[in-house]
C-alpha cells in the first residue's frame, strides 16, 4: 500500500506557474482646471471570453483561443475599471473619481462595454482593444453621449511579454482618448 502511494505521487505533476500580467494607467494631460463634477467608473461588461483572467488570442474570425502560459492578475473587467479610474484621477480634470461603494455623490457614470481585448494573429500580429463608452447623467438617468474607442497596436517582439505589452499600449491609447473625450463633454 505504501509503495503504491509513492508511485502515485510520482505520476502527479503540477503545471508550471502562469505568467501573470497587469495593465498600466497612462498619464493624460487633461484640461486646465478642475470640474466640480464627480464621476463613477462602473465595472465594465464583457462577454464571457473576455470576462475572466485568460488572455484572448484570435487566429481567425470566430475563433477564440487563450494565450498559453499567461493570465491577467484579476478578471479583465476589474482591471480595466481600476486602471481607467486611475487614468481619470491622474488627469485631474474632476474633483472626484471613484468606483461603486466609495460614497461619492455622483454626477456622471462612465459605463464601459469591453467589445474586444485580444491579440489578432491573422494578417499580421497586433493587439486590438475596442471599448464602447456611455456617459450617463446620474441625476436624471439620461445618456449624455456614447462612443466607440478602438486602438490597434502592432506586436513588436515575441512571446507573452510582447503580446501583453501591445495590449497595454492599445488600452493606454483608448483610456487616454476616453478621458479627453469625457472632459470635453462634462
pLDDT, tens only, 108-158: 999 999 999 999 998 889 999 999 999 999 999 999 999 999 999 999 998
Kindly give the interhelix angle for 159-185 and 76-91, rounded to the nearest 10 degrees: 50
Q: What is the pTM for the complete model shown?
A: 0.90
Domains of the chain are 38-185 (3.40.50.10610)
Question: What number is the average pLDDT over the span 2-22?
Answer: 68
What stretches of 42-125 adopt beta strand conformation (E)? 45-46, 56-58, 65-66, 70-72, 94-98, 108-120
pLDDT, tens only, 74-100: 999 999 999 999 999 999 989 999 999
Q: Sign (positive/negative) of CA torsion 45, 50, 55, 57?
A: negative
| pLDDT, averaged across the chain | 91
Question: What number is the average pLDDT over the span 6-34?
Answer: 77
**Least trusted range by pLDDT, from 6-15, 59-68, 75-84, 163-172:** 6-15
CA dihedral 58→61→64→69, nearest 10 degrees, is -10
- The rounded radius of gyration (Å) of the Cα atoms in the chain is 20
pLDDT, tens only, 99-108: 999 888 999 9
Residue 122: its pLDDT value, please?
A: 84
Grade residue 2 by pLDDT with cuts at 50, 70 and 90.
very low
Amino acid at each position: 500500500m505504501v509503495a503504491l502511494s509513492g508511485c502515485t505521487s510520482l505520476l502527479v505533476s503540477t503545471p508550471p506557474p502562469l505568467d501573470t500580467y497587469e495593465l498600466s494607467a497612462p498619464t493624460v494631460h487633461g484640461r486646465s482646471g478642475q470640474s466640480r463634477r464627480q464621476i463613477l467608473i462602473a465595472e465594465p461588461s464583457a462577454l464571457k471570453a473576455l470576462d475572466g483572467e485568460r488572455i484572448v488570442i484570435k487566429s481567425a474570425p470566430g475563433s477564440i483561443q487563450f494565450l498559453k502560459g499567461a493570465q491577467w492578475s484579476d478578471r479583465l473587467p476589474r482591471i480595466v475599471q481600476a486602471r481607467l479610474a486611475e487614468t481619470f484621477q491622474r488627469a485631474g480634470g474632476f474633483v472626484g473619481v471613484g468606483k461603486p461603494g466609495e460614497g461619492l455623490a455622483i454626477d456622471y457614470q462612465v459605463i464601459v462595454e469591453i467589445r474586444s481585448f485580444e491579440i489578432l494573429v491573422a494578417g499580421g500580429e497586433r493587439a486590438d482593444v475596442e471599448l464602447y463608452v456611455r456617459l450617463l447623467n446620474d441625476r436624471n438617468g439620461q445618456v449624455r453621449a456614447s462612443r466607440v474607442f478602438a486602438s490597434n497596436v502592432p506586436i513588436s517582439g515575441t512571446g507573452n511579454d510582447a503580446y501583453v505589452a501591445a495590449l497595454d499600449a492599445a488600452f493606454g491609447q483608448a483610456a487616454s482618448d476616453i478621458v479627453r473625450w469625457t472632459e470635453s463633454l462634462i
